[in-house]
Amino acid sequence: MFDEFGINAGYVEELHSRWQQSPASVDEGWRRFFEGAAPAPTRQGANGTRGSNGGNGQIAAAYREAVRETVHAANDSQTRVAQLVNAYRVRGHLLADLDPLDLTPPGQANLELSSVGLSDADLGTAFSTAGMSGLPDPAPLRDIVAFLRETYCGAIGVEFTHVEETEPREWLQQRMESTRNHASLDRAELLRIVTKLTDAEIFEQFIHKNYVGAKRFSLEGAESMIPLIDLLIEAAGAHGIEELVIGMAHRGRLNVLVNVMGKNVREIFAAFDDKRPERFLGGGDVKYHLGYSSDVVTGAGHAMHLSMAFNPSHLEWVNPVVEGRVRAKIDRRKRKSTMPLLVHGDASFMGQGVVAETLNLELLEGYSTGGTIHLVVNNQIGFTTVPGDSRSTRYCTDIARELRVPVFHVNGEDPEAVIQVTRLAVEYRQRFKQDVVIDMYCYRKYGHNEGDEPRFTQPVMYALIDKKAGVRDAYVARLVAAGHITREEADEIADWRRGTLEAALEDAREGDYQHMPQAMGGVWASYRGGSDAGTPEVPTTFPREALLEASDRLATMPGGFHASPKALKILEARRERAHSGHGLDWGAAEHLAFASILLDGHGIRISGQDARRGTFSHRHAVLFDAHSGEPYTPLAHLEQPGRLVGRFEIYDSPLSEASVMGFEYGYSLDRPDKLVVWEAQFGDFANTAQVILDQFIISAEDKWGRLSGLVLLLPHGFEGQGPEHSSARIERFLQLSAEDNIQVCNLTTPAQLFHALRRQVKRPWRKPLVIFTPKSLLRHHEAVSTLDELASGSFQRVIPDTSVAPEKVRSILLCSGKVFYDLADERKRLMREDVAIVRLEQYYPLSDALDRALAPYAPGTPVVWVQEEPRNMGAWYFVNARRDEIVRGRHPLSLVSRPESASPATGSKAAHDLEQKMLLEAAFAR
């Protein structure tokens, strides 16, 4: 309500509520101010327009006046106490006891009594504690200060007053103050924490002893993470969560796999022993990148499915993939019972931009997952780099302030405080459907990995760490001293754990426990990867009548909807052309492909920048009412009596490639039944998501045996639009093509797009499909297809040339994509009947379709690969390297292209036109 008072909003609100209860309890200045604002302003939500309302403007002016008066009046101690309380809520975290190494200097909190004009002399005076549950009312200032210190400056420091909405902020405040921010734990829970800490510690020690110097990225110093995740699962189960998807990096991952997810530790030992090289030649991944899933039952009896996402070394890049997976799971079940947990490192959370790009997805309609729990394992170091060199901010979590959600900083050496924030975090997420961040301060017992000497660079830090007792020891000592458990009980837990690991190690050395990740079951059971040739093609035809019906439906608006006349004209033209047998353009064929897929019962999800209209205004999947601005999506309103129609979703994404491509990739991992599409604005921008391409889309099957049917639509083509609006970097995708890992296409007709998209869902082969999509061809009068070509055609990997008599042909131009139309025009202009033009529509995997297309021509007829791209880009290096597959020794192969270049294209349209002319001349020179 008092948002415009910024950091003082809580304070003003507090005064206001006191004034409401008893006008005499606030000083005269404030009283006048609140009376002047009558009727009292209504509460504003997060989206309220600040300062736009006259009432609030008056409040602001009155506030300034009131502040002046407060300063001068100088005798309202109760007001000062309220200021102090507010200051603790806002800045108490700056004094909290967070750092187990005591290396972090306290912040300037200004919480001294003198900062609000109070003094020690006031400590015995009783003040009202209205609004502070957890204290008698009134209470002496001494008690109030002790209460505030305990709540806000103990082992937990909370940043929460920036939460804009009143309800969650007050809820959290009440929860923390009523408990002084302490978890109440019974003996069973204390024992569970000890057990989990013991599991964590003994596991690391056991590997340390048995695999000296082997990389494991020890959790030691941060062992509280294990009871944290263990109790998070408990809390999540109690709140109705049925599934947790975890994304995390190297640190402590093996520990989580074994001690939280129940992975068979024999498999981990076998991976350390690494005695099966023959199973992993050229493939597989290191043991701390592998994913896993398991089913557990919580202490309270709730069944919970746990998934740990496979992830690469590239820190933080798994985040959007996890979010996409969770969204897919939520969509599948139509219930919001899946929760993402992302575990971060302190250095990577602040350093990697994909973190901010992923946080930004959280409240968006197309990407929300109902809130993510973020856990930062803040060991106060990244490899050898200390926080002072890692970030410009105090907290490694400050990037999360973009979301205005609570951030709990907690001392990882206090497991009970860790449990308290975990419970608060889960409950907050469940209630308010937003992200929550836990920043667990800890330390790293060894170097970055176990072979690394940290004392080269952090001698002082490690002198402190060397003196540390260990998180478990310190906690056990505390519980023993408090009489909660005996030393013998604690030892027994450790002995038992050691014993089970000894036995498992013996088993591991006798048995066969090192394998590639298992093939996928469940929703993946009916799909396959592997080689292209191993999965037959399927028909992609669709009944003509049904396409006509769909095109009628797509051009029909609901009653009372006032579509833009221009958009309506486009839809109407599509409909007419379908009926009259005229050529359909790209947008029309794409729409009919989508419609046919939906009518076949498959869902479709598309996202990308401006995807709803389409960057080039060719799609118009969503129309907007001219009066209300309300959207209408014809594809979401297809009907089919007696048969299920798939769900159609299309979203304009935020201006991020990395997080959105990662999200859609993640989505495709859990929805193999759907057509999942990510579209680039221009293909040139896809490289900002290069990590998602290299580390996930391209290599996931080889490393992890994980499949995806994601479609990438990458506008590509040299049309004089400059270096960054021309190339989707075909060369890169082709260099990354191996072992039939992806499909790479450059299509020249709308019918080809229709069949390629249908093939992608109908064929059980799940491989990412990269389509270089056109720009000028979207409106090219020749780049059209008839309804019959859609209804009864099929996808052609190569389009042979049927327009010339093979025996006359003296030169074969082999090309792909848009340049075909330029070449065809030129041939017509030159009336060259001795030149054939063959189109390679699918670069990869190559097939014998090419052989068939070249077969009619006499052996020895030269084949010229013609591309618009510079020599070092486009497909030439790929074509040249695979010449044996392409011309099979029957034809000489040469190149016509732009000369090699460091930048894809010229910035001058005129230079582009000249280049293009020279290219065509060269192509027809022989």
Interface positions with ligand TPP (CB under 6 A): 251, 313-315, 345-348, 352, 377, 379, 381-383, 444, 448
The answer to whether the CB of 371 falls within 8 A of the CB of 435 is yes
The entry of Mg ion, ligand TPP, none that residue 251 binds, CB within 5 to 8 Å by partner kind: ligand TPP
| Long-range pairs of 327-332 with CB within 8 A, sequence gap ≥ 24 | 327/367, 327/368, 327/369, 327/663, 327/666, 327/667, 328/666, 328/667, 328/668, 328/669, 328/670, 328/671, 329/243, 329/245, 329/670, 330/369, 330/370, 331/671, 332/523, 332/670, 332/671
Which residues between 546 and 605 bind Mg ion (CB under 5 A)?
Answer: none
Q: What are phi and psi of 640, to 5 degrees?
A: -160, 105
State the nearest-atom distance from the C-beta of 379 to ligand TPP, in Å. 5
The candidate with the shortest Cα–Cα distance to 532, out of 762, 840, 705, 763, is 763
Q: Which residue is nearest to ligand TPP (CB)?
A: 345
The answer to whether the CB of 343 falls within 8 A of the CB of 375 is yes
Give whichever of 161 and 458 is closer to ligand TPP, judged by the CB atom: 458
What is the rounded distance in angstroms from the CA atom of residue 126 to the CA atom of residue 273? Answer: 68
What is the rounded distance in angstroms from the CA atom of residue 503 to the CA atom of residue 506? Answer: 5
Give whichever of 444 and 618 is closer to ligand TPP, judged by the CB atom: 444
Give whichever of 382 and 672 is closer to ligand TPP, judged by the CB atom: 382
Give whichever of 449 and 901 is closer to ligand TPP, judged by the CB atom: 449
Identify any residues that bridge with 686 across adjacent strands, giving them in sequence order. none
State the nearest-atom distance from the C-beta of 703 to ligand TPP, in Å. 15
The entry of Mg ion, ligand TPP, none that residue 313 binds, CB within 5 to 8 Å by partner kind: ligand TPP
First to last CA, the chain: 78
The candidate with the shortest Cα–Cα distance to 144, out of 180, 117, 101, is 180
Q: Quick one: which segment of 278-286, 343-351, 645-653, 816-824 binds Mg ion (CB under 5 A)? A: 343-351
Tokens read off for 545? 């009548």
The entry of ligand TPP, Mg ion, none that residue 211 binds, CB within 5 to 8 Å by partner kind: none
The entry of ligand TPP, Mg ion, none that residue 315 binds, CB within 5 to 8 Å by partner kind: ligand TPP
Q: Classify strands 303-308 and 292-297 as parallel, antiparallel or unpaired.
A: antiparallel
Give me the residue label for tokens 């969560």: 241
The entry of Mg ion, ligand TPP, none that residue 253 binds, CB within 5 to 8 Å by partner kind: none
The entry of ligand TPP, Mg ion, none that residue 775 binds, CB within 5 to 8 Å by partner kind: none
Give whichever of 314 and 431 is closer to ligand TPP, judged by the CB atom: 314
The entry of Mg ion, ligand TPP, none that residue 245 binds, CB within 5 to 8 Å by partner kind: none
State the nearest-atom distance from the C-beta of 384 to ligand TPP, in Å. 9
The answer to whether the CB of 58 falls within 8 A of the CB of 37 is yes
What is the rounded distance in angstroms from the CA atom of residue 237 to the CA atom of residue 205? Answer: 31
State the nearest-atom distance from the C-beta of 416 to Mg ion, in Å. 23
The entry of ligand TPP, Mg ion, none that residue 169 binds, CB within 5 to 8 Å by partner kind: none
Q: Classify strands 893-898 and 863-870 as parallel, antiparallel or unpaired.
A: parallel
Give whichever of 192 and 448 is closer to ligand TPP, judged by the CB atom: 448
Give whichever of 343 and 597 is closer to ligand TPP, judged by the CB atom: 343
For residues 541-576, one letter each, b for 16 or more C-beta atoms within 10 angstroms of the residue's C-beta and e for the rest, the string is: ebeeebbbbbbeebbebeeebebeeebbebbebbbe
Dihedral, 685, 691, 696, 700 alpha carbons, nearest 10:
130
Give whichever of 253 and 602 is closer to ligand TPP, judged by the CB atom: 253
Give whichever of 313 and 735 is closer to ligand TPP, judged by the CB atom: 313
Helices (H) and strands (E) in the chain, counts: 32, 24
What is the rounded distance in angstroms from the CA atom of residue 474 to the CA atom of residue 614? Answer: 60
The entry of Mg ion, ligand TPP, none that residue 383 binds, CB within 5 to 8 Å by partner kind: ligand TPP
The entry of ligand TPP, Mg ion, none that residue 291 binds, CB within 5 to 8 Å by partner kind: none
What is the rounded distance in angstroms from the CA atom of residue 866 to the CA atom of residue 897? Answer: 6
- Contact with Mg ion (CB under 5 A): which of 221, 345, 634, 666? 345
The entry of ligand TPP, Mg ion, none that residue 729 binds, CB within 5 to 8 Å by partner kind: none
State the nearest-atom distance from the C-beta of 444 to ligand TPP, in Å. 6
The answer to whether the CB of 362 falls within 8 A of the CB of 374 is no
Which residues between 381 and 420 bind Mg ion (CB under 5 A)?
Answer: 382
Binding residues for Mg ion, rule CB under 5 A, total 5
State the nearest-atom distance from the C-beta of 458 to Mg ion, in Å. 12
DSSP string covering 464-483: HHHT---HHHHHHHHHHHTT
Give whichever of 101 and 584 is closer to ligand TPP, judged by the CB atom: 101
State the nearest-atom distance from the C-beta of 159 to Mg ion, in Å. 20
Residue type, 856: P
- Contact with Mg ion (CB under 5 A): which of 346, 657, 670, 679? 346
Give whichever of 101 and 854 is closer to ligand TPP, judged by the CB atom: 101
State the nearest-atom distance from the C-beta of 367 to ligand TPP, in Å. 22
Q: Quick one: which segment of 111-119, 319-327, 330-338, 380-388 binds Mg ion (CB under 5 A)? A: 380-388
Give whichever of 248 and 680 is closer to Mg ion, judged by the CB atom: 248
Which residues between 594 and 653 bind Mg ion (CB under 5 A)?
Answer: none
Q: How many CB atoms lie within 10 A of CB 10?
A: 23
State the nearest-atom distance from the C-beta of 414 to Mg ion, in Å. 19
Give whichever of 387 and 608 is closer to ligand TPP, judged by the CB atom: 387
The entry of Mg ion, ligand TPP, none that residue 196 binds, CB within 5 to 8 Å by partner kind: none
State the nearest-atom distance from the C-beta of 101 to ligand TPP, in Å. 14
State the nearest-atom distance from the C-beta of 583 to ligand TPP, in Å. 48
Give whichever of 406 and 447 is closer to ligand TPP, judged by the CB atom: 447
State the nearest-atom distance from the C-beta of 259 to ligand TPP, in Å. 17
3-state secondary structure 698-735: CCHHHHHCCCCCCEEEEECCCCCCCCCCCCCCHHHHHH
Give whichever of 234 and 439 is closer to Mg ion, judged by the CB atom: 439
State the nearest-atom distance from the C-beta of 352 to ligand TPP, in Å. 6
Q: Where does residue 114 rank: exposed (0-12), middle (13-18), buried (19+ CB within 10 A)?
A: exposed
State the nearest-atom distance from the C-beta of 748 to Mg ion, in Å. 51
State the nearest-atom distance from the C-beta of 380 to Mg ion, in Å. 7
The candidate with the shortest Cα–Cα distance to 219, out of 249, 242, 241, 195, is 249
Q: Classify strands 338-345 and 243-247 as parallel, antiparallel or unpaired.
A: parallel
Taking CA atoms, 561 is separated from 47, 164, 556, 649, in Å, by: 27, 36, 10, 20
Instruction: Write each residue from 289 to 328 as x if it is in contact with Mg ion (CB under 5 A), else as -, in one continuous string.
Output: ----------------------------------------
The entry of Mg ion, ligand TPP, none that residue 613 binds, CB within 5 to 8 Å by partner kind: none
The answer to whether the CB of 404 falls within 8 A of the CB of 217 is no
Give whichever of 447 and 768 is closer to ligand TPP, judged by the CB atom: 447
Rg (CA), the chain: 33
Give whichever of 219 and 835 is closer to ligand TPP, judged by the CB atom: 219
State the nearest-atom distance from the C-beta of 380 to ligand TPP, in Å. 8
The answer to whether the CB of 396 falls within 8 A of the CB of 387 is yes
Q: Is 379 one of the binding residues for Mg ion (CB under 5 A)?
A: yes
Give me the residue label for tokens 């093996």: 254
Residue type, 886: I
State the nearest-atom distance from the C-beta of 708 to ligand TPP, in Å. 21
Taking CA atoms, 24 is separated from 16, 339, 501, 642, in Å, by: 12, 48, 69, 70
- Residues contributing to the site for Mg ion (CB under 5 A): 345-347, 379, 382
